[in-house]
Chain A
Amino acid sequence: KNQVEQSPQSLIILEGKNCTLQCNYTVSPFSNLRWYKQDTGRGPVSLTIMTFSENTKSNGRYTATLDADTKQSSLHITASQLSDSASYICVVRALSGGSYIPTFGRGTSLIVHP
């Protein structure tokens, strides 16, 4: 069964600090991995997508990495801001098999304190 595990479940950091969120998956065959940010009371918004050949990709203060061999991804947030407080969701998509249903992780809840 395809699974996506995220850690930690929740994280509290001080404004200005860096943090790293983890995503491990067993989805096969792998197509792509996407990180979403979900603000409280809102729908998820895409931050970045990683395909098989990509190791790292940045979007402003967000940097995602992918190790397809170990089936792990991380999302690094640099110089955190209060607006980074949100849930971060890792979504992995299988390549084929007649099914394009993505597998969602449960998310990491990040709280940034002033």
Chain B
Amino acid sequence: NAGVTQTPKFQVLKTGQSMTLQCAQDMNHNSMYWYRQDPGMGLRLIYYSASEGTTDKGEVPNGYNVSRLNKREFSLRLESAAPSQTSVYFCASSERRESNQPQHFGDGTRLSIL
């Protein structure tokens, strides 16, 4: 029962480097999400994909891009990392964006940018 799998679990980058965070779910969910979690703040939505082939901006999309590669996979890319992007990144999936079913979260990627 893998659920939502995120890779890598930890990463350290230098300012200006690029990186792609990977996320895959095996629950046949239609919708997928990327959040960031900073100390003392609630989870904030970066981007989401309501269904395969679609992506939309969330609350804090600047500095990020996403790709919904197929129904299972949703990646998050930092083109030119900045120290302000140091955070814990969570990927989540749900049956459908409009449903009352819960979002299922991965265990996060801890990203530090020096």
A residues lining the B interface (CB < 8 Å): 4, 32, 34, 36, 41-46, 49, 51, 89, 100-107
Contacts and interface: CB of A to CB of B under 8 A. Distances in A.
A4 B42 contact: yes
Interface stretch (B62-70, B75-83, B90-98): B90-98
B30 to A, nearest CB: 13
Interface of B: 4, 40-45, 48, 58-59, 90, 92, 97-98, 100, 102-103, 105-108
Given A43-B107, A43-B108, A100-B97, A89 B42 contact: yes
Contacts of B106: 43
DSSP class of B's interface residues: helix, strand, loop or mixed? Answer: loop
B102 A49 contact: yes
Contact of B105 (A44, A100, A107): A44
A46 B102 CA distance: 6
Q: Among B42, B45, B98, B103, which residue has the most Cβ atoms of chain A within 10 A?
A: B42
Nearest to A31: B100
A105 B102 CA distance: 16
A71 B43 CA distance: 21
A43 B90 contact: yes
A82 B4 CA distance: 26
